[in-house]
Amino acid sequence: MKAEIGVIGGSGIYSLLNDARDVSMSTKYGATSEKVSIGTLQGRETAFIPRHGKKHTTPPHKVPYRANIQALKDLGVRRVIGTGAIGSLREDYKPGDFVIFDQFVNMTHGRDDTFFDEDRVIHVSTAEPYCPELRSLALKTAKKMGISVHGTGTILVINGPRFSSKAESRFFSANKMDVISMTQYPEVALAREKGMCYLGVGIVTDYDSGLEGNSNIKPVSFDEITRMFSKNVETLKVMISNLVEAIPEKQKCDCAKSLEGAEASH
């Protein structure tokens, strides 16, 4: 079976496609988070993986990121859309807003975050980790739908599964991070290593550990994340569907060339 577009859904997205078939896929990096659903979206062959499993039983630090990306690559996927719930680290990125990431900061540890840890030394650039073509299309799609959307956002990725302390949250905000999650890394970096376009889209569900000086905003809870994400998940599904329809067959970006000049000389 083949697919040209892959979607990795975060909390709250467990179905997306039409006429889907669930396929068990195993890679040299193990099995995927869940069976891969392969079906159509706007007439395009699309593969979907629920990042945490259909019953949300896989915590962020144990998601099989390499297996998920490898499976999509094996299916022929060239563009990957990764979604998830995110916390805000600044007042103007409000709960319910959509954010299209342009940068990440990794603060995870112990995750298998490269495909090149055996017999080749590859130094892949992640200076611009997110596909510019998909970002532009996603922003146009969201605005056309009337979604409150931010076209840029630096996402800080923590290991989880615990949420931040107030001191950590203050530190992240002081260092100009915009939003926070537990799953964007190494997903985006692994896609880059495979020469795949990657788009990261998040729905702001909370203000992390609250906002400094505003006692009315409480620290995040998982119940609040679920409530806010569920409120916006159908809008996200429609946005993804509209985006898939807008994606051209031919890529205009250079994501597929990510390995050019990246191998260490002998």
Q: What is the pLDDT of residues 226-257, one digit of tens each?
A: 677 777 888 999 999 999 999 999 999 999 99
Under DSSP, the state recorded for 43 is: T
Per-residue pLDDT, 216 = 61
Among residues 200, 188, 192, the alpha carbon closest in space to that of 124 is found at 192
The answer to whether 184 and 101 have CB atoms below 8 angstroms apart is: yes
Positive or negative torsion for Cα 184, 219, 170, 163: negative
Residues with Cβ within 8 Å of 246's Cβ and at least 6 positions away in sequence, in order, are 137, 140, 141
CA 234 to the chain's CA centroid: 17
What is the pTM (predicted TM-score) of this model? 0.93
Whether 19 is catalytic is: no
Per-residue pLDDT, 221 = 67
Of 120-129, 220-229, 256-265, the range with the highest mean pLDDT is 120-129
- Residue 125 CA to residue 192 CA, distance in Å, equals 8
Residues with Cβ within 8 Å of 171's Cβ and at least 6 positions away in sequence, in order, are none
Among residues 51, 81, 52, 90, the alpha carbon closest in space to that of 180 is found at 90
Asked if omega into 59 is within 30° of 0 (cis), the reply is: no
Whether the predicted pLDDT of 71 surpasses 80 = yes
**Which one is predicted more confidently, 182 or 54?**
182
- Residue 249 CA to residue 192 CA, distance in Å, equals 19
What digits encode the pLDDT tens for the residues 143-167? 999 999 999 999 999 999 998 898 9
Whether 206 is catalytic is: yes
Per-residue pLDDT, 210 = 58
The answer to whether 69 and 187 have CB atoms below 8 angstroms apart is: yes
Per-residue pLDDT, 213 = 55
What digits encode the pLDDT tens for the residues 17-49? 888 899 999 999 999 999 999 999 999 999 999
Q: Is 238 helix (H, G, I), strand (E, B) or coil?
A: helix
Q: Which of 92, 208, 223, 254 is catalytic?
A: 208
The answer to whether 84 and 42 have CB atoms below 8 angstroms apart is: no
E strand or H helix at 81:
strand 79-88
| Mean of all residue pLDDT scores within the chain | 91
All domains of the chain, ordered by start, with CATH?
Answer: 5-257 (3.40.50.1580)
Mean pLDDT of 44-61: 93
Per-residue pLDDT, 11 = 61
pLDDT grade for 100, boundaries at 50, 70 and 90 = very high
Q: Which of 97, 112, 206, 223 is catalytic?
A: 206
